[in-house]
Structure 1
Amino acid sequence: MTPKQTQRLIKKIADIKRALAAEKRTFGGYDDSRGLRYLPTRYYIQLADYKGGLVYTRWFAKTFPDDIVFPDFLFEWAVLLFKAGKFAEAKAKIWQTFCANTYLFDKYFGHPIQPLPIYEWSNLAQAGFTDYFTYSHQQSELLDFSQWLEEFMVSEPFTTRKARYLILHQQLKMEDDLERRDYLRQEADQLENAIKF
């Protein structure tokens, strides 16, 4: 990256922070319907400024605690954590990313994306998602992360949790009994929120 490109990315981050601060001043809160708050993580990765990226994600988590967050943003957050040596937190973010979009890691590793029967809308999710997610395991700056991620995703804790997650969502799709659905939903929610590996 040239110094000019670096300066452009630093300016983009500063402009986004300035725009968000202006919203806070104007509205007393954030009305970020443009989704500017999701962009800086990408720029921090491009700059290889992982500590700066983590400062931003801490601010994000504090400022938007109820934000459901997009899968690519969660993925970028996981990369920042990994690159900063925070492996346990990176694993938790990988799990959140998987729960947000089960296709993301297939896309990242270049595997064929198979629609999963757990979602009625799986073909739509597959089509829309593959258009905007641009990261690949072959990117030179992500090779160490890719190797670590691949090892983590075939580990027993991850594969066991992934299998249970998919089974629960399949059962939810087919279950009509409201009491049983409530039980399955609670278990699925607990599993999604279980971040320690």
Structure 2
Amino acid sequence: MTPKQIERIQKKIARIRQTLAAEKRRFGCYDDSRGLRYLSTQYFIQLGDYAGGLRYTRWFEKNFPDDCGFPAFLFEWTIILFKTGKTKAAEKKAFQTFCSNIWLFDKYFGKITIPFGKLEGSNKAIPAFIEDFPYSSEQVELADFSNWLIALLNTPDFILLSKKYIDIQIRLITERDLDTRYYLVHTATELEQTFKL
């Protein structure tokens, strides 16, 4: 990356910060309907500034505590946690990433995915953004992360909990009883929030 490219990315991060700060001053809260808050993590990764990315995700968590994020954003957050030595937090974020999109890791590792059907709340079997996912296990700068992630995905606990999560999602496709649906959704949310190895 050239110094000019680095400078352009740093300016993008600064513009996002300025825009969000202006919203906070103007409205007394963040009115980020454009989703600018999700963009900075990719820029920190492009720069290799994982410490800056960690500071950003801490700010994000403080200011958007109920925001579940998007799959690519959660994936980037996982990379940042891993690259800054926060492996326990990275394990939990990796499972949250998996729960947000069960095909994302397959895409990252270049595996062919066979969908089991539409997930709760989705219109397509595989979301279109997966096709444009910008990360791959072939990226040299992510080699250590890729090795760690594949080891994590193959742990007995991750396999067991991911199967439980998928089973719940499959049941939700056809389950019509409201009490059962509530229980299944609650169980899936609890799995996602309390993941520990």
Report what 1:86 is aligned to. 86
Q: Name 1:64's counterpart in structure 2.
A: 64
3-state SS in 2 of match to 1:34 = coil
Measure the CA separation in 2 of the matches of 1:90 and 1:128. 26
Shift of 1:173: 2.1
Contact 1:161 1:191 (8 Å CA) reproduced: yes
The answer for the alignment partner of 2:50 in structure 1 is 50
Q: Which residue does the alignment assign to 1:23?
A: 23
Query: Per the alignment, do residues 127 and 191 of structure 1 end up closer, same or farther by CA in structure 2, a change over 3 Å counting?
Result: closer
Query: Could you say which residue in structure 1 is the equivalent of 2:196?
Result: 196
Change (3 A) 1:50 1:120: closer
- Residue by residue, what CA displacement relative to the aligned partner does 1:141-179 show, whole Å, maximum 9, x if unpaired? 101100110011011010000111111122222223333
* 1:35-184 matches, cutoff 5 A: 35-117=35-117, 119=119, 124=124, 126-184=126-184
The DSSP-based 3-state class of the residue aligned with 2:142 is: helix
Runs of 4+ in 1 over 6 A off after TM superposition: 120-123
The answer to whether the 8 A contact 1:82-1:145 is kept is: yes
Q: Is the 8 A contact 1:115 1:123 kept in 2?
A: no
Q: Percent identity?
A: 53
Post-superposition shift, 1:20?
0.6
- Equivalents in 1 of 2:152, 2:40: separation in Å? 26
For structure 2, the residue ranges without an aligned partner over 5 or more in a row are none
Deviation at 1:99, TM superposition (A): 0.5
User: Aligned partners of 1:147, 1:109: CA distance in 2, in Å?
Assistant: 11
Alpha-carbon distance between aligned partners in 1 of 2:121 and 2:179, rounded to the nearest angstrom? 24
What is the identity, as a one-letter code, of the residue corresponding to 2:159?
A: T
Q: Which moved more, 1:74-83 or 1:113-122?
A: 113-122
* Count of residues in Structure 1 that have an aligned counterpart in Structure 2: 197
Counterpart contact for 2:118–2:125, Cα < 8 Å: no
